[in-house]
Amino acid sequence: MKIAVYGKGGIGKSTTSCNISIALARRGEKVLQIGCDPKHDSTFTLTGFLIPTIIDTLQSKDYHYEDIWSEDVIHKGYGGVDCVEAGGPPAGAGCGGYVVGETVKLLKELNAFYEYDIILFDVLGDVVCGGFAAPLNYADYCIIITDNGFDALFAANRITSSIREKARTHPLRLAGLVGNRTSKRDLINKYVEACPMPVIEVLPLIEDIRVSRVKGKTLFEMVGSEPSLNYVCEYYLDIADQILSQPEGIVPKEIPDRELFSLLSDLYLNQGRHQHNKENLLGFTTI
């Protein structure tokens, strides 16, 4: 099974991806996580360091695939998860889609691409061009990471559009949304009401999720010294269980941009008016 994880930049895709990868490994699956971002830090919390990228390795070998071994590009991470970083072209030059294609090509040359039960692509930021959407060409499922904010849901809607386009040519499905570190879910609920899709899980506003990234450790590793965090790991194990159930998934249909803007901004405005009226009422009763 191949899964592509998308979402707005900075939403917590890599943190979520790493924890999902370990949760899948804990369920007995052989897992490979592929970071698809020029920052090449997707797997940092699994390995503890920035591993060499596929592109760097290919360049060092003058693009002679026959001179590259699996151990040059596949690194063992925490929990038995294998890790690869695709890397990326120099800023302002080249295409991220080409890099993903070269990564898959090399893994196939090494007979590694089909050795795993699960391959998880952790993809950079928003989908704004075909290159960034390239991992969807190889995926069975896409998972979108979001929060309860307008920007993240706007990005989710664009990703939804890309999934629909890619699903025309191969059996790609949206497994659903994962809400990350959000205290409320009213905007998420409003969005999925207008654009029906599954919500796999909504993780509450747990500061330790953010801290784990800073520490360079996954929640599963942190729980060894902080057993109180065990309940957080259960969220990721639940996501893993839903993935392993091989959900039917959907081919979503995005909402037009103007309609989405109106939908979510109206909710914001209504919340603001409700809060204003509440404050006035409290002020009146106090007097």
Which residue in the list 8, 37, 147, 217 is annotated as catalytic?
Answer: 8
Which residues are documented as binding site for ATP? 10-15, 39, 180-181
Which residue in the list 2, 13, 166, 217 is annotated as catalytic?
Answer: 13
The predicted-structure confidence for 67-122, as pLDDT tens digits, reads as follows: 999 999 999 999 999 999 998 776 666 676 778 888 888 999 999 999 999 999 99
Residues 159, 16: Cα–Cα separation, whole Å: 17
The yes-or-no verdict on residue 37 having pLDDT over 60 is: yes
Residues 55, 212: Cα–Cα separation, whole Å: 28
pTM (predicted TM-score): 0.89
Which residue in the list 39, 61, 253, 278 is annotated as catalytic?
Answer: 39
Which residues are documented as binding site? 10-15, 39, 95, 129, 180-181
Per residue in 156-183, is it b (16+ CB within 10 Å) or e — as a string?
bbbbbbbbbebbeeeebbbbbbbbbbbe
Tokens coding 170: 């191969």
Is residue 13 flagged as an active site residue?
yes
Which is higher by pLDDT, 48 or 277? 48
Report, as an integer, the average pLDDT of 199-220: 92
What pLDDT, on the 0 to 100 scale, is given for residue 17? 97
Instruction: Give the residue among 220, 213, 234, 215 at the shortest CA–CA distance from 122.
Output: 213
Is residue 186 flagged as an active site residue?
no
Q: How far is CA 185 from the centre of its chain?
A: 18
What pLDDT, on the 0 to 100 scale, is given for residue 268? 65
Average pLDDT over the chain, rounded to whole?
Answer: 88
Which residues are documented as binding site for [4Fe-4S] cluster? 95, 129
Which residue in the list 126, 147, 166, 217 is annotated as catalytic?
Answer: 126
